[in-house]
Structure 1
Amino acid sequence: MSEREPSQDDAVWQDLVARLESAESAPDPQSPSADPQPPTAGETPSSPGATQPGTGTPAGPRDFSVPADDDEGFVPPEPAPLGTGDPLVVLAWCGAAGAPLALLLMAMFWRSAPFAVIAGLVVLFIAGASYLVSRLPGDRDHGDDGARV
């Protein structure tokens, strides 16, 4: 390959710079700054063609402002108090979940636990789990589409 002379490289470089400067100075027909109209009602600040107010520069995605909520009159209902559950169901959950946890802790920290305590916790687990299973619905309502309010 033959090398170019430095004067040829300089001439090519100057030509390139001149073309880029002329392209930057020419107004772009798709540029938002060429259209000084404010955004219309359906146009958001992040949509193409929108400009920042007062500056004329294109708006970016971080220039988006959230519109005000129209749900000023909505007041959510008060939640039910935590202790209003069925006492038998709460006791069954304590037995079904608490007995295995107590057995695990006893296996780690109290290896010489009496057999009566271990048997009592097993019975408590079985009683709580069987009560919870017995309260499950007996059949499924197949006519329901699943949408409930």
Structure 2
Amino acid sequence: MSARPGGTGPEDEWTEIVSGLEDVRRAGDRHLAGPRDWSPEEAVFGGPPAGADDAREDAQDDDAPYSPDPGPVTQGLSRGALLSWTVLIGVPVLLLVLGLMPGSLPWWAVVAGLVAVVGAIVHLLTSLPEDRDDLDDGARV
């Protein structure tokens, strides 16, 4: 490769780029020992931003492990919903396994299984929340 007319070659430019990225690499290394005594804003912009003391306190909080707030989705199922889902999944599997075994399945077992599955579906549908915000598309952040 030939050098540019300005006197800098590609190797010199590459060395300059790599030395500029050294600060970025150090900012991403979380395994370095000791607390950071500089912020990424200082490395990029050359000085502390306005309100740097507050930013340092927030940065220390950012290094703490994140534990999400358990929302209504992760709080678990009610006993009725858990029983309904168990019946909805378990009874057809049980009927299938019993149907594959030698001998015939009694008619009352099939009817009882179907009634249980229909009851589980009805319970799950009636326990759905009825109030819904028209502007809510269901997305969570």
TM-score by length of 1: 0.50
The whole-number CA distance in structure 2 between the counterparts of 1:101 and 1:119 is 15
Match of 2:11 among 31, 34, 40: 31
What's 2:122 paired with? 130
Q: Which amino acid aligns with 2:82?
A: V
- The alpha-carbon deviation at position 66 of structure 1 amounts to 8.2
Kept in 2: contact 1:103–1:118 (CA 8 A): yes
Q: CA RMSD in A?
A: 4.0
Unaligned runs of 5+ in 1: 1-22, 46-63
Kept in 2: contact 1:106–1:113 (CA 8 A): yes
What's 2:136 paired with? 144
Superposition map of 1:18-57 within 5 A? 29-32=9-12, 39-40=19-20, 43-44=21-22
Percent identity over the alignment? 24
- The alpha-carbon deviation at position 33 of structure 1 amounts to 8.6
What's 2:28 paired with? 67
**CA offsets, 1:93-145, max 9 Å, x none?**
01111111112112212541211211111111111111011112335321335
The whole-number CA distance in structure 2 between the counterparts of 1:90 and 1:130 is 14
Kept in 2: contact 1:92–1:131 (CA 8 A): yes
Unaligned runs of 5+ in 2: 3-7, 31-58
What's 2:39 paired with? none
- The alpha-carbon deviation at position 39 of structure 1 amounts to 0.4
